[in-house]
Amino acid sequence: SKWVYSFGGGNSDGRAEMRNLLGGKGANLAEMASIGLPVPPGFTITTEVCTHYTQNGGYPEGLEAQVQQALAAVEQDLDMRFGAVETPLLVSVRSGARVSMPGMMDTVLNLGLNDETVEGLARKSGDARFAYDSYRRFIQMFGDVVLGVDHGHFEEILELAKEDKGVELDTDLTAEDWKSVIEQYKARVKEETGEAFPQDPQDQLWKAVAAVFGSWSNQRARTYRRLHNIPEEWGTAVNVQAMVFGNMGEDCATGVAFTRDPSTGENAFYGEYLVNAQGEDVVAGIRTPQNLTVEGKQKNGSDLPAMEEVMPEVFGQLCKVRDRLEAHYTEMQDIEFTVQSGTLYMLQTRTGKRTAAAALKIATEMVEEGLIGEAEAVRRVDPAALDQLLHPTLDPSAERKVIAKGLPASPGAASGQVVFSADRAEALGQEGRRVILCRVETSPEDIHGMHAAQGILTTRGGMTSHAAVVARGMGRPCVAGAGELRIDYQTGKMRVRDIEISEGDVVTLDGATGEVMQGEVATIQPELTGDFAKLMAWADRIRSMKVRTNAETPADCRTAVKFGCEGIGLCRTEHMFFDAERIVAVREMILADTVEARRKALARILPMQRQDFVEIFKIMSGLPVTVRLLDPPLHEFLPHGEAEMQEVAAAAGAPLEQVRQRSAQLEENNPMLGHRGCRLGITYPEIYEMQARAIFEAAVEVQRETGGTVEPEVMIPLVATQRELEILKSLVDETAQAVFAESGQTVAYLVGTMIELPRAALCADEIAADAEFFSFGTNDLTQTVFGLSRDDAGSFLPAYEAQGIVKQDPFITLDPKGVGQLVSIATEKGRSVRRDIKLGICGEHGGDPASIRFCQSVGLDYVSCSPYRVPIARLAAAQAAL
């Protein structure tokens, strides 16, 4: 079988679609070469070989011959020979998995150099300094990545060499200096590994290939995969590619760029480059990178010349490549390039990571530019990422004590306590504290801390540094390269001028401006106009499910309306009982011995409860409102401590003993499965009657006052049997008739139930006889289907997830097999009895994109979620409908 795919010289064995086999990098190198872009020739060893290697510790038969053949093709194409002294072919060995894993896998450049070929390279290029610089880079990278010699060894030698010469920059060292550095490097390798640095290029090549395959299993790569749900089985490909050199003089350069601004999404070429540099010098923070464009330079306040000014011709070529790539991929690209003696070479392209704001802007503008259609734009924006846009940003009028400024690497505002290590960030994060991770720069080892932090601050590195790229991907605000700040890890302090900030002090970051502020700064609500409104309008046209909200306070209702909700799917009435003013009456009601006494207390609650609904109905003006009657066990409303009991006794004019007794009486072993939901309505019908009266009186009042209509939907919780609903529905209907008779006005209303017990789902046909709607309460349904208490699952669920027993937390993403099956059964049975029965979901899952996809697949009419998730649900519902 075929293990090796060639690319370059205007044609390729592979294509962009073959990323599973060739990895993202290999597939896109093949694609770029095949559309005629300048790609140095090379070949890709497939991910299947990695899998074989991981499982068997060796290579499949035929691989070696195929590699030699592909290498020979490159030699022929370039008229160079791998290992030859006079025209030495050098290659890079690069890893590349299906999805990009930034910084996870290591690349070796300049492979093929040894004590002899380096001389050939020097003669051929006429530049000995360049040749020896390349060789020492090779020893350094190969030593680190392949031989496992800590890079600190090489850095130490290099630092000493520069000190000796009294120079600061690597570029100030001469060929002779590099020769001496190389001798020291080789000696150190021998000391550390016990073996001489390998001189045979074939030996170098196979060792490097093995190192790349081995790196698939290293700790950093595993951590990254775990955090991003990337399966172990995917494996990585290895790309072997002819070297081009950005370090051969002043007409050479290396750079990285985004075809559009990854922070704002603006259609502006955005990138950084370095003259006379190689590989990752740009992102490694060794020298300050320069901007590609004059515009970018001005934006970042840089005084270094832009590529546009320094090498206008090559820049022109690069702009053409940019247009070509965007037209071809119809997507924003993240590219890596090198300029060798005035000639441009493309070394990588992939879909660029971007902030949520940029994703929105790019998607909407690409529709306007005719590159993609509306549906594709809707498909491209990750609903979960919208979260970033819906949360507050810094109030521009609030006072800011700006202490430093860095690059605006990832937008958003974040305040928190300063920490200086990823482990510390994680530890404090687990305690629920908000932290800002402050590092000189970040590396893949810091990812867990970046996750735990609210924001990330670095004092070194550019817009394409590790911190910036990872923060944008995670949606964390980030200020990068705030160079005035000095971090001292030893003392746990950060200084700027005369200001000293210790671990634990609060700072605020503005990732949109790059400002670092002392203390906490006030925030404001986000703008929901422009691109956001445009994309939402397209999503609304596409989706078929409605989106409602779970809300009971006027503030939440207003937020949800602003976010475009189409009604309330769950208004929980118990929250309304806790108000300081009301709780006394509520407790009196609970303590009451007789129905009469209970009714008296309820009569005091009625006007307050009615007022709640008046306000909600007004805010929702005409949209349906599902009100769930009282659900939690009464015990929840009673005081627990002795002192509080005394207070209640005094307020209720009852003896303390009665309070104590009643409390003991109401206590339950397992309240989740106890006297709650409709069981309360069955045993204390006067409570539900009062609530129903409050709803209908409020509806009548609002209709009269506004002239509009109100659509209340009265929902009975925790029904298991047909008879429960039948009894309580009559109670609601009778109450409605009474209110209508008293007021001389009617209101169109529905009575329905929550489906949150397995029995209700299985007997949904019987229940539908009395239910005009079902709302799937998937929180309780998940608890009862799994026999698992949500409040107690924390102690073992993580182990279940780690061992793959459950794919995700079933309280976050609906379990389609079990819980979902019951939802399907209930949907079918409900519809078989009542064709137009209204079906929705009001569990936490209503705001989860994967669960929303499931809801679409069973044909629910709406999903209901918390106010801030409404836009996410609108977009997710549209994607589910596509």
Annotated catalytic residues are 466, 842
E strand or H helix at 606: helix 595-619
d(CA 432, CA 649): 37
d(CA 616, CA 10): 66
Size of the residue set binding Mg ion (CB under 5 A): 3
Size of the residue set binding ligand ADP (CB under 6 A): 17
From residue 207, alpha-carbon distances to 170, 685, 855 in Å are: 28, 79, 51
Amino acid in the structure at residue 373: G
Stretch that binds Mg ion, among 43-51, 99-107, 134-142, 434-442 (CB under 5 A): 99-107
Binding to Mg ion (CB under 5 A): which residues in 100-139?
103
Stretch that binds ligand ADP, among 31-39, 184-192, 239-247, 626-634 (CB under 6 A): 239-247
Residue 347 DSSP code? E
CB of 28 or CB of 851, closer to Mg ion? 28
E strand or H helix at 467: helix 466-474
From residue 409, alpha-carbon distances to 466, 476, 484, 531, 584 in Å are: 10, 10, 16, 21, 53
Q: Please tell me whether residue 276 binds ligand ADP under the rule CB under 6 A.
A: no
Among 117, 348, 364, 864, binds Mg ion (CB under 5 A): 348
Residue 278 CB, shortest distance to ligand ADP, in Å, is 6
SS3 366: helix
Q: Do β-strands 435-439 and 413-419 pair in parallel, antiparallel, or remain unpaired?
A: parallel
Backbone angles phi, psi at 447, to 5 degrees: -60, -40
Residue 282 CB, shortest distance to ligand ADP, in Å, is 8
Stretch that binds ligand ADP, among 16-24, 102-110, 161-169, 649-657 (CB under 6 A): 102-110
Among 41, 262, 279, 564, binds ligand ADP (CB under 6 A): 279
CB of 97 or CB of 699, closer to Mg ion? 97
d(CA 416, CA 435): 4
**Nearest Cα to 3, choosing from 34, 48, 41?**
48
Q: Please tell me whether residue 107 binds ligand ADP under the rule CB under 6 A.
A: yes
Select the binding partner of residue 625 from Mg ion, ligand ADP, none (C-beta < 5 to 8 A, by kind): none
CB of 239 or CB of 703, closer to Mg ion? 239
Contact mark string toward ligand ADP, 488..527, x via CB under 6 A: ----------------------------------------
d(CA 587, CA 850): 41
d(CA 276, CA 282): 11
From residue 443, alpha-carbon distances to 147, 437, 465, 792 in Å are: 21, 12, 9, 36
Select the binding partner of residue 279 from Mg ion, ligand ADP, none (C-beta < 5 to 8 A, by kind): ligand ADP
CB of 334 or CB of 374, closer to Mg ion? 334
d(CA 292, CA 290): 7
Select the binding partner of residue 244 from Mg ion, ligand ADP, none (C-beta < 5 to 8 A, by kind): ligand ADP
Binding to ligand ADP (CB under 6 A): which residues in 732-771?
none
Q: Please tell me whether residue 442 binds Mg ion under the rule CB under 5 A.
A: no
Among 63, 113, 182, 244, binds ligand ADP (CB under 6 A): 244
Residue nearest to Mg ion (CB): 348
Q: Please tell me whether residue 347 binds ligand ADP under the rule CB under 6 A.
A: yes
Stretch that binds ligand ADP, among 212-220, 238-246, 695-703, 799-807 (CB under 6 A): 238-246
CB of 240 or CB of 453, closer to ligand ADP? 240
Select the binding partner of residue 94 from Mg ion, ligand ADP, none (C-beta < 5 to 8 A, by kind): ligand ADP
8 A C-beta contact, residue 346 and residue 32: yes
**Cβ count within 10 A of residue 179:** 16
Select the binding partner of residue 460 from ligand ADP, Mg ion, none (C-beta < 5 to 8 A, by kind): none
Residue by residue, DSSP assigns 109-156 as EEET--TTHHHHHHHHHT-HHHHHHHHHHHHHHIIIIIT---HHHHHH
Residue by residue, DSSP assigns 22-43 as HHHHHHHHHHHHHTT-----EE
Backbone angles phi, psi at 509, to 5 degrees: -115, 140
Q: Please tell me whether residue 241 binds Mg ion under the rule CB under 5 A.
A: no
Among 94, 207, 225, 350, binds ligand ADP (CB under 6 A): 94
Binding to ligand ADP (CB under 6 A): which residues in 7-66?
40
Amino acid in the structure at residue 81: R
Residue 100 CB, shortest distance to ligand ADP, in Å, is 7
Q: Please tell me whether residue 338 binds ligand ADP under the rule CB under 6 A.
A: yes
Kindly state the tokens that stand for 609.
């409860």
Q: Please tell me whether residue 465 binds Mg ion under the rule CB under 5 A.
A: no
Stretch that binds Mg ion, among 310-318, 348-356, 510-518, 866-874 (CB under 5 A): 348-356
Select the binding partner of residue 254 from Mg ion, ligand ADP, none (C-beta < 5 to 8 A, by kind): ligand ADP
**Sheet strands side by side (includes 91-97):** 11-12, 4-8, 42-45, 236-242, 91-97, 108-111
Residue 288 CB, shortest distance to ligand ADP, in Å, is 17
> Helices (H), strands (E): how many in the chain?
35, 34
Residue 410 CB, shortest distance to ligand ADP, in Å, is 19
**Nearest Cα to 142, choosing from 98, 190, 93?**
93
Among 114, 140, 241, 458, binds ligand ADP (CB under 6 A): 241
Among 334, 336, 566, 697, binds ligand ADP (CB under 6 A): 336
**Nearest Cα to 212, choosing from 62, 47, 64?**
47
Kindly state the tokens that stand for 162.
């520069």
Stretch that binds ligand ADP, among 215-223, 240-248, 402-410, 432-440 (CB under 6 A): 240-248
From residue 369, alpha-carbon distances to 155, 177, 328, 374, 614 in Å are: 48, 53, 14, 11, 47
Among 92, 264, 782, 827, binds ligand ADP (CB under 6 A): 92
Among 170, 280, 308, 631, binds ligand ADP (CB under 6 A): 280
**Cβ count within 10 A of residue 605:** 21
Residue 113 CB, shortest distance to Mg ion, in Å, is 20
Binding to Mg ion (CB under 5 A): which residues in 313-342?
336
Stretch that binds Mg ion, among 149-157, 345-353, 678-686, 762-770 (CB under 5 A): 345-353
Q: How many residues does the chain have?
A: 882
Q: Please tell me whether residue 830 binds ligand ADP under the rule CB under 6 A.
A: no
Among 254, 355, 775, 851, binds ligand ADP (CB under 6 A): 254
Specify whether the backbone of 30 is left (phi greater than 0), alpha (psi in -120 to 50) or beta: alpha
Residue 173 CB, shortest distance to ligand ADP, in Å, is 20
Kindly state the tokens that stand for 530.
């422009």
d(CA 387, CA 881): 21
CB of 254 or CB of 549, closer to ligand ADP? 254
CB of 279 or CB of 624, closer to ligand ADP? 279
CB of 171 or CB of 721, closer to ligand ADP? 171
Q: Do β-strands 91-97 and 108-111 pair in parallel, antiparallel, or remain unpaired?
A: antiparallel
Select the binding partner of residue 784 from ligand ADP, Mg ion, none (C-beta < 5 to 8 A, by kind): none
CB of 283 or CB of 736, closer to ligand ADP? 283
Specify whether the backbone of 504 is left (phi greater than 0), alpha (psi in -120 to 50) or beta: left
Q: Please tell me whether residue 109 binds ligand ADP under the rule CB under 6 A.
A: yes
Q: Do β-strands 862-865 and 838-841 pair in parallel, antiparallel, or remain unpaired?
A: parallel
Among 348, 388, 459, 775, binds ligand ADP (CB under 6 A): 348
**Nearest Cα to 588, choosing from 574, 573, 603, 608?**
603
Residues engaged in binding ligand ADP (CB under 6 A): 40, 92, 94, 103, 107, 109, 241-244, 254, 279-280, 336, 338, 347-348
Residues engaged in binding Mg ion (CB under 5 A): 103, 336, 348
